[in-house]
Amino acid sequence: MESITRRELLKRTAALAVGSSLLLSRPVTAWAQQKDATSKVVLIRNQKLFANGASPDPEVCAAMLDEAVRTLTGQADAKAAWASIIHPNDIVGIKTNEWNSFPTPPELNALIKARVLATGVGEENVSVDDRGVKTNPVFRRATALINVRPMRTHAWSGVGSLLKNYIMFAEKPSDYHDDSCAPLATLQELPAVKGKTRLHILALLAPQFHHLAANTVTEEFTWKYSGLAVGFDPVAVDSVGLRIIEGKRRDYFGEDRPLNPPAKHIALADTRYHLGTSDPSKIQLVKLGWDESSYV
């Protein structure tokens, strides 16, 4: 595997004639390989999502998700869009994230499950789970997976990402921690996962852009971004989410404050493991709704 130093990035950046200081704190772009293929990511935001208080408004959230999935699939309406992703005979595992301090909002889990059921999937053939996925009977029989989690900073992987969310499928999750979780993309090769994911949903409702101790979440370091990012390429969706987190950090700190450690697993999912696209210039980003301080 190729190793990269700051100097190598500087040289590449100079060759590309792109603003170097930004790239060096966020090496995703400079690491990314040049590809012809693009990955589509739909980012939708709604300023009214938290109009009623601390919890997201389920109706607003539902409208956002439906419109994002409709746009992603290019279907005429939301029903057709979901039907193009999930089929009535599918067995569907919705891989959520239940970490106590910063879980996938339960409203979002419930909404996704409702949309899956609406496609005709039987109640007995859909399940929402996180830490129990290896033993959950639905997940063990699953023909389709939907990957959903909130984005947050992480003390070892840089960010908690869609790529990281599948670590609970691993026999021993810590096997994927080496080099600040560099090999997370290889989780997609696990038999329980490979080829099954129909949709990736990154919850950017109220992301965490900074932390102090490893496992703390404080309101000070979260903000109501009121967004969802969806796509078929987890690397592309994570790459968009990462740029948003980095943008907020620049805004909050008034300087470029790199994630510690860098979220290298997203770039490496592209350049080393060829799972998807991390290069922003190769991502077809469709932005819908509220655009103020979107950071992308």
Partner 1 sequence: MRNVYLFFFLLCGSGPLAFIHAQKINLMKYFPEQYQSYRADQWLDFEGEALYDYINGGAELYLSYGLKGMTGCKYNGDGLPQVTVEIYEMTSSKNAFGVYTQSRDREEYDYGQGSQRYDDFILFWKDRYFVIITAQKATPESRDALLHLAALAEEAIPGEGEIPALVAELPKEGLVPGGYLYFHHYIWLNAYLFIADYNIAGISDQTDALLAKYGEADARCYLLLVQYPNPEEALKAGEEMRKGLAPELSADTASIRLEDGSWFTLGVQGNKLAAIFNGQTREQVENLYQSIYK
Nearer to partner 1, 3 or 34 (CB): 3
Give me the helix-helix angle, 78-85 and 58-73, nearest 10°.
Answer: 70
SS3 98: coil
Tokens of 113: 């499950």
Nearest CA to 246 out of 283, 217, 199, 209 is that of 209
Contact criterion met (CB below 8 Å) for 130 and 98: yes
Nearest CA to 149 out of 92, 199, 186 is that of 199
Nearer to partner 1, 41 or 184 (CB): 184
CB 188, min distance to partner 1, A: 17
Radius of gyration of the chain (CA): 18
Q: Give the binding site for partner 1 (CB under 8 A).
A: 3-11, 13-14, 20-21, 24-25, 27, 99, 101, 154-157, 164, 167, 173-174, 177, 179-181, 212-220, 254-255, 258, 260-262, 264
CB 5, min distance to partner 1, A: 4
Q: What is the DSSP string of 129-172?
A: ESTTTTT-HHHHH-SEEEEEEEEEEETTTEEE-HHHHGGGGSSS
Token pair 């879980």: residue: 103
Tokens of 196: 């099954």
d(CA 145, CA 198): 6
CB 251, min distance to partner 1, A: 13
